[in-house]
């Protein structure tokens, strides 16, 4: 184990799991399946594992980086922060990850509840579209959200990751297209 990994394992960590969804693929998948879009949060449309990408910091990754099944290092007491976005960075079609539920044991979260958390950055950087390359950046107030849960155990569990998919309708309004889920395998060692 390298020194950086040893240092990380000495204290509890916040581990971000970025989930990127190819929303065009999901919409086409639903249109070509026996399912119809669901606006009922309790009956999400089940999806395959394609075109869903989970990414963790490289110091935590074991395998499956940028795939629909992820294996990563975490320990009891670490906080996992699930964050979601579309390939459009939520500017056209948008994604909100809203739940992670156990499909098949073991439950590495030990039944711990998930919490929607947010952090407001009052002076976050944003590209300046009045310049050719977007820099120097503008300073804007931006809220970043995550779905947080504490790790309770290690093992390989199967989960449902639930997300709401929104499409851009008239003008600038994003409206719910469907609640969706898929069942990735998540390993925590």
pLDDT band of 10, cuts 50, 70, 90? low
pLDDT for the residue 145: 95
Report how far apart, in Å, the C-alpha atoms of 135 and of each of 34, 124, 128, 140, 144 are: 47, 13, 6, 14, 21
Q: What is the DSSP letter of 67?
A: B
| Mean pLDDT score of the chain | 91
Q: Residue 148: pLDDT above 60?
A: yes
Sign of CA dihedral 149, 109, 72, 20: negative
Cα end-to-end span (Å), the chain: 14
For 79, other C-beta atoms within 10 Å of its C-beta total: 18
pLDDT tens, residue by residue, 17-65: 999 999 999 999 999 999 999 999 999 999 998 999 999 999 999 999 9
For the segment 95-103, the average pLDDT, to the nearest whole number, is: 95
Furthest-apart CA pair in the chain: how many Å? 53
pLDDT band of 9, cuts 50, 70, 90? low
What is the chain's length? Answer: 189
């Amino acid at each position: 184990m390298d020194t950086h990994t040893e240092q990380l394992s000495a204290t509890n960590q916040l581990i971000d799991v970025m989930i990127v969804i190819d929303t065009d693929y999901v919409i086409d998948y639903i249109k070509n399946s026996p399912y119809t879009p669901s606006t009922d949060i309790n009956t999400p449309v089940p999806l395959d594992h394609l075109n869903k990408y989970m990414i963790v910091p490289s110091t935590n990754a074991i395998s499956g980086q940028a795939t629909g099944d992820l294996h990563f290092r975490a320990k009891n007491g670490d906080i996992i922060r699930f964050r979601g976005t579309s390939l459009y960075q939520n500017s056209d079609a948008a994604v909100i990850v809203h739940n992670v539920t156990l499909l098949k044991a073991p439950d590495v979260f030990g039944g711990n509840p998930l919490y929607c958390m947010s952090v407001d950055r009052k002076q976050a950087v944003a590209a300046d579209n009045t310049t050719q390359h977007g820099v120097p950046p503008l300073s804007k107030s931006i809220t970043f959200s995550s779905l947080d849960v504490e790790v309770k155990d290690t093992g390989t569990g199967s989960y449902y990751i639930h997300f709401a998919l929104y499409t851009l309708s008239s003008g600038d309004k994003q409206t719910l297209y469907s609640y969706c889920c898929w069942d990735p395998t998540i390993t925590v060692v």
